[in-house]
Amino acid sequence: MIEDDKKQHRSEKTELHPRNKHRDRYDFKALTAIYADLKPFVHNNAYNDTSIDFSDAQAVLALNKALLKLYYDIDNYTLPEGFLCAPVPGRADYVHYAADVLATSNNGVLPAGSHIKCLDVGVGANCIYPIIGIKEYGWSFVGCDVEPIALENANLLKSSHPNLASHLDLRLQTNNRKLFTDVITEGELFDLTICNPPFHATKQDAAKGNIRKISSLRGERKHAVELNFGGQSNELHYPGGEEKFVKRMITESKLYAKQCFWFTTLISKKDSLQNVYKMLKKVESAEVKTITMSQGTKVSRFVAWTFLDADQQVEWVQRWKTE
């Protein structure tokens, strides 16, 4: 039975973006060679393939450290205890599909280089989107967060990696009721914003969701509330949940309609889309795109919107060619 399963077990994650470096199965030989601390967590799974226990927080962190070192030249990756350990392949998908959104306004040409400026709302201690975006496309990033400890860790990563230091600006959002306000300065322009909003409405919901995730990964009930991917309160829950957070983002984005080309945000719950679209219509966005992504059995998506009409989009893209 295991042999039959193994024959059917895919060697390529074809659902991931074509430019995603993680479409192939994890190369644990290369990963453990570049990061030896991953070795104790590697074992053969039910398919008799090399893998790790994805319900083990330390194993997931070790895998992330190895992936970031092998593919993104990040050494000595660290996270403060309890902070979100972002799965790299899915985060890379968001960056690549966001690049495609920019390309649709550029005759299909992917815009690259430090003149492309991206705002990461809720950059977190992991700093994952800037790491990927800078490595893959050479973009410049501003990362903001309400959590000082998160920014301290992101600054440590920045200071120890020259390529991050030259492409990344980190800013503290002192008002946890605001997203863009007090971060985007007067006259500052962004080509793209990205965000992974808090999913849950309360801490209790976050705990229940984690138990379900752990149970699914292990195939058994786990009573201890242990976040295998971590997460602080502001990373995991927000009053009113994801939908309320995104509605606030959409409302505030109207204030910066001429300072940003494409606003984007992940939407985990498909049921939230209808109300998100209503809100985007209410603020009179000029164009809306919904990009569907999948990682294994998990389907996610992000919504992108702009307030620029067709002529204004052409004018904006012309600026890329002169910078």
**Predicted confidence (pLDDT) per residue in 249-297, tens digit:** 999 999 999 999 999 999 998 999 999 999 999 999 999 999 999 887 7
The CATH code for residues 75-320 is 3.40.50.150
Say if CB 316 and CB 261 are below 8 A apart: yes
Over residues 172-186, the mean pLDDT reads 95
Percent of the chain's residues with pLDDT above 90: 72
pLDDT category, 235, cuts 50, 70, 90?
A: very low
| Chain centroid offset of residue 157 CA | 17
Run of H or E including 144: strand 140-145
Structure pTM?
0.87
Q: Is the pLDDT of residue 3 over 60?
A: no
Each residue's pLDDT tens digit, 70-104: 999 999 899 998 888 888 999 999 999 999 999 99
pLDDT higher at 232 or 194: 194
pLDDT category, 205, cuts 50, 70, 90?
A: very low
**What is the Cα Rg of the chain in Å?**
20
Could you tell me which residues come within 8 angstroms of residue 171 by beta carbon, excluding any fewer than 6 positions away? 142, 143, 144, 151, 183
Q: Phi/psi of residue 288, each to 5°?
A: -130, 135
pLDDT category, 108, cuts 50, 70, 90?
A: very high
Each residue's pLDDT tens digit, 41-73: 999 877 788 999 988 989 999 999 999 999 999
Q: How far apart are CA 287 and CA 110, in angstroms?
A: 19
